[in-house]
Amino acid sequence: MSHTKATSHFQTVAIIGKHGASGIHETLLELADFLQSIGRTVIVESNTAKELTDQRLTSFDLEEICRRADLAIVVGGDGTMLGIARQLASFKVPLIGVNLGRLGFMTDIPKERMLPLLQDIFEGQLASEKRSLLEGVILRGEQTIFKALAFNDIVVSRTAAAGMVELRVEVDGHFMYNQRSDGLILSTPTGSTAYALSAGGPILHPELDGIVLVPIAPHSLSNRPIVLSGSCEIVIQLASGYEGSINFDMQSITNLQQHDRVIVRRSEHAITFLHPVGWSYYDTLREKLHWNEYPSVLGQLK
């Protein structure tokens, strides 16, 4: 986590919102008015612009937004941020997340405190952090049939109609294991609090350089989660007689045939999040995982 006061270069600010979210219209207009009042050029993502009636705001598709924006403010929830982060990663556009509902892991600014916290950020009172992504490539023979980025996780799993899958896993060219299970989650530190956590994986601080492998309902109880170096190349092959599927952040999905190979490595791209000064990952964990409930109970017992 780093702190900086160099925000004067955030002159062109993009607004990207969750389409159809309750109450988003008022929030977007309030945000646009604030940004214009502090002298920023405001551009709106084209689908987001459909939520607005203000014709004075300029809209562009997401690809053009990536080229023009110095900063993007994403209004919605963590699911909205997941999709946007992957698409903006290669353009190195920093992101700020405003949450319309409960506090999110990535959209950490509550709507009710949006303007004062953004005022602090644009005055230079901010913290920044970088988050890693995974890149997955699927080979059928020697042909690449699919590739995508994942901000949370890449999940290789059985199909709905099938039983277990058998996966052969290699790390940096070394055979690690054959695993029979419902699937395997390969997670970034950011994604360690998502599907990987529900499958029994560990929580990794976002600043750690690691990749988590978490089996889903393994046939052998000795197949346990493992944290690998972020520099590793992981190859997963679907064994003979099995078919499966693969998804990236639960948003991009394709089928796997027997002998297909999935090559996973850390992406060369990273996401930069901007937070208000004083933001803490541990505060977010306490809120989302309800760690804060126990001290209050103990306090009542004293």
Give the distance, in angstroms, between the CA of residue 123 and the centroid of all CA atoms in the same chain. Answer: 27
Q: Give me the catalytic one of 33, 70, 78, 172.
A: 78
Known active-site residue 78: yes
Q: Could you tell me the two tokens for 29?
A: 């207009």
Give me the phi and psi of 54, to 5 degrees please. -80, 105
Q: Could you tell me the two tokens for 255?
A: 């089928």
Element (H, E) at 255: strand 252-256
Looking at the DSSP bridge assignments, the partners of residue 272 are 130
Point out the residues that are catalytic. 78
